[in-house]
Amino acid sequence: MAVEILGMLVGLGTAAAQTVPPPAPATGGQIEFWHLVLGSGWVVRLALLTLVGFSVGSWGIAVAKSREMRRARRQSERFIDVFWEAKNLATIQAASSDMKESPVAQVFRAGYQELQRFTKAKRSLGEEEPEFGGIENVQRAMLRARTQEVTRLERGLTFLATTSSTAPFIGLFGTVWGIMTAFMGLSATTSSSIQAVAPGIAEALIATAVGLAAAIPAVVMYNRFARQLRVLTAEMDTFGAEFLNIAERHFLKKS
């Protein structure tokens, strides 16, 4: 009796295994994403390509700007140490030639060159003061060098700011266009359920997601580099004021 019951259970299990279909392979999120992208309209695709271009450009600028800012900060710190440890300005001038990435060193070189021109003119005129030189010329030369260095360090930040401000709107435009196309296609079908427009809405929402993915890193990177630039600008201003005090006290004083 027990053997017969066991045989019946085995037979039922075998039949159930034959009638139940095997489970369908799970589809990964990455495949779903690319399927939606390839199924979107040409306007949404154009918006996605634009956003990808903005994102690639932003990351390229971020890598280059990180290296540039790091070199500028390290060389400026090294130059300031050399400036306060050296005994004369000629030694500092020679050392600054190897620190071309330092904005503080470039400000010093501009002020030192103008100071040299003034002292040479003063020696050639003897006791008479030159009419074209003085502390104002040295200050203007250093301000001009400061402006050039700030402009150089700001290169690329405009693109990051543009990406952070326009990428969400480009993504939103692609989303609105995709949703509008999905609802327009709904009028051509016999079904009015949400299943008829769900694929089109999902394709459209990808544009907003990609827009945010391009804009958020750009905002973070822009704020980071802007802060580093403010620090370097403050160092240039501080050093310029100190150098002007030294020059006025030792080289530009009235005889």
| Residue 242 scores a pLDDT above 50 | yes
| Residue 53 scores a pLDDT above 70 | yes
Give the C-alpha separation, 187 to 85, whole Å.
80
Q: What's the average model confidence in pLDDT over 230-242?
A: 93
So what's the pLDDT on residue 194? 56
Give the C-alpha separation, 101 to 91, whole Å.
18
Is the pLDDT higher at 245 or at 195? Answer: 245
Give the C-alpha separation, 172 to 214, whole Å.
13
Helix 42-85 crosses helix 135-154 at what angle (to 10 degrees)? 140
Q: Around Cβ 85, how many Cβ atoms within 10 Å? A: 10
Q: What are the pLDDT digits (tens) for 206-225?
A: 888 889 999 999 999 999 99
Q: What are the pLDDT digits (tens) for 129-159?
A: 555 557 788 889 999 999 999 999 999 999 9
Q: What's the average model confidence in pLDDT over 221-250?
A: 91
Locate 156 and state its tokens: 């690329």
The string of DSSP codes covering 23-77 is: PPPPPPHHHHHHHHHHTS-HHHHHHHHHHHHHHHHHHHHHHHHHHHHHHHHHHHH
Q: What are the pLDDT digits (tens) for 60-72?
A: 999 999 999 999 9
Among candidate residues 119, 65, 110, 93, the one with its CA nearest the CA of residue 228: 65
| Residue 46 scores a pLDDT above 80 | yes
Write down the mean pLDDT value for the chain.
Answer: 78
Q: Residue 199: pLDDT band by 50, 70, 90 thresholds?
A: low
61, 67, 71, 77: CA torsion to nearest 10: 90
So what's the pLDDT on residue 131? 52
156 sits in the region (left: phi over 0; alpha: psi -120 to 50; else beta) called left
Give the C-alpha separation, 223 to 12, whole Å.
68
User: Out of 89-103, 110-124, 144-158, which region has the weakest mean confidence (pLDDT)?
Assistant: 110-124
